[in-house]
Amino acid sequence: MDANKPLAHRVRPKTLEEFVGQEHILGKDKILYRTIKADRLSSIILWGPTGCGKTSLAEVISNTTKYKFYQINAVTSGVADIKRIIEEAKNVFLNPAGKCILFIDEIHRFNKLQQDALLPFVEDGTVILIGATTENPYFEVNKALISRSMVVKLEPLTSKDVEKIIKNALVNKEGLGEYNIKIADETISKIAEISNGDVRTALNGLEVAVLSTNMNANGEIELTDEIIANCFAKKKIAFDKTGDSHYDNISAFIKSMRGSDPDATLFYLARAIYGGEDVDFLARRIVISAAEDVGLANPNALVVANSAMQAVHMVGMPEARIILAEAAVYNAISPKSNSAYLGIDSALEDVSTKETGRIPMHIRNAPASGMKEFGYGQGYKYPHDYPGHYVEQQYLPDEMLGTKYYKKSDTEK
């Protein structure tokens, strides 16, 4: 056992049969499984959260392929490293196959120039690219590289998958098999739950627990729930306030308010707060929802949301969570109408694309007396001079007469 390497590295699978999870892409009837087994792999982008097995899968491929395998990290490598690898791959004495597999971890960290440097060699088959990224590759990776690669979406491992990996690490001699460890299945389940699908977090925490716990009178390292709780700072969630999960979570939050589900609204709000989301940003989203989704069905929602935004800004965390929750739930339980939202967008579309005519003369401004001689303001009927404070008169230009932008929803009073 190389104790200098972290546990997650030492117990990585060496074959596809040892790989745990990702059955949706690595089941024996799936194309990726078959192409790896047959060593007929084409360029792929592995996209998934941390600790879901992207690097482990690349290592399995390195043990399976007959081609020369290179591995670099986009954080520490550059164009010079790519050129060196290409030269070696094309050298018939060093590499008779004339091609190689290049695994680039965190490929989203490569800038456009670095990604462009790869393109011709991926295109001519010199390089079979395996890129790993936690970010949405459709936003972060060169579109030309994407078009020449198969994008494979990896999901967070299930709790059962993580439990299986932990149990293997406890008996694996490359892992913790040399230690006399006593741990209940319930405690293993707790580790899997805390890690939330990130096997690296689970194994790192487990190793810390083992190495920091003294043996009992029976010569055992006994790991309890309390010890585990102290070795994991807090439950990990798949949330990055600057990454792809940020957009997924805020989308779910907004759609839950729109869909009148207060429980889901509070759940996604809690995920955002727990993940360190900017509370001012959350408050602004609630204000937008109040206008866009609740709208005229309950105009008071905008008043509540705006007050909440000001209060959040003044108060800050942790109390801001209460203010955000009140405003978000108010939106969720309010009746909904998007009549104003649809109306203004329809009007903007007409203004930007149609010949909409001229403003009728009788409702134009006449700040100077001489302008009335040209018809400005002449014939205007002041509504408050009429019964019910209403009088029929033309407001739209002639070209737009009969156009309806506001369509009252049946939820509006």
192 and 111, same domain (yes or no): no
Residues 123 and 31 in one domain: yes
Q: Within a domain: residue 85?
A: yes
3-class secondary-structure state, position 100: strand
Question: What's the domain range around 227?
Answer: 159-231
Q: Of 302, 333, 364, which marks where a domain is finished? A: 333
Instruction: Tell the residue number behind the tokens 């989704």, with chain if given.
Output: 293
Statement to judge: residues 200 and 217 lie in one domain: yes
Stretch (H or E) spanning 123: helix 112-123
Residue 247, SS3? Answer: helix
Q: Which of 210, 212, 201, 206 is nearest to 181 (CA)?
A: 210
Average pLDDT across each block of 10 residues of the chain; the chain has 413 residues. List them in order.
Answer: 76 90 87 88 88 89 88 88 88 81 90 86 88 87 88 89 92 89 91 86 89 87 88 62 70 94 94 87 95 95 96 90 96 95 92 88 78 80 91 91 91 86
For residue 137, say if its preceding peptide bond is cis, omega within 30 degrees of 0: no
353-371 residue pLDDT tens: 988 888 888 888 877 667 7
- 63/39 same-domain check: yes
pLDDT at 2: 58
> Number of folded domains in the chain?
3
336 CB contacts (<8 Å, ≥6 apart)? Answer: 258, 260, 293, 294, 295, 297, 409, 411
Q: What pLDDT, on the 0 to 100 scale, is given for residue 193?
A: 86
Q: How far apart are CA 80 and CA 86, in angstroms?
A: 10
Residue 410 included in any domain: no
- State whether 45 and 132 are in the same domain: yes
Same domain, 90 and 142: yes
Q: What's residue 3's pLDDT?
A: 61
Rounded Cα distance, 315 and 283, in Å: 12
Q: How far apart are CA 205 and CA 195, in angstroms?
A: 9
Per-residue pLDDT at 197: 81
DSSP strand pairing (127-133 vs 68-73):
unpaired
3-state helix, strand, coil in the chain (%, to 5): 55, 10, 40
CATH number of the domain at 308, please. 1.20.272.10
CA gap 35, 43 in Å, rounded: 11
The per-residue pLDDT for range 260-317, each reduced to its tens digit, is 999 999 999 998 888 788 899 999 999 999 999 999 999 999 999 999 999 998 988 8
Domain-ending residue, one of 301, 333, 365? 333
Instruction: State how far Cα 268 lies from the chain centre.
Output: 13
- Please tell me whether residues 273 and 192 are part of one structural domain: no
Q: Do 53 and 171 sit in the same domain of this protein?
A: no
Which amino acid makes up residue 295? G
Residue 368 lies in a domain: no
Are 166 and 149 in a shared domain?
no
What CATH number corresponds to the domain at position 55?
Answer: 3.40.50.300
Residue of 136, 137, 110, 134 lying closest to 52 (CA atoms): 134
Note whether residue 386 is domain-resident: no
- On whether residue 356 sits in a domain, the answer given is no
Q: What pLDDT score was predicted for residue 111?
A: 86
Give the angle subtended at the CA of 48 by the CAs of 46 and 53, to the nearest 5°: 75
Q: Both tokens of residue 175?
A: 């892992």
DSSP letter at 45 equals: E
Among residues 136, 153, 170, the one where a domain terminates is 153
Nearest to 253 by CA among 263, 268, 241: 268
In a domain, 206, yes or no: yes
**Model's pTM, two decimal places?**
0.66
User: Rounded CA gap, 18 and 179, in Å?
Assistant: 22
Is 248 within the bounds of a domain?
yes
Q: What is the rounded CA–CA span in Å between residue 28 and residue 325?
A: 46
What pLDDT, on a 0 to 100 scale, did the predictor assign at position 243? 57
Tell me what pLDDT residue 270 has.
92
Please indicate, yes or no, whether residues 94 and 202 belong to a single structural domain of this protein.
no
Is residue 74 assigned to a domain?
Answer: yes
Pair (174, 147) in one structural domain? no
In this structure, the answer to whether residues 43 and 131 fall within a common structural domain is yes
* Integer Cα distance of 137 and 235 in angstroms: 27
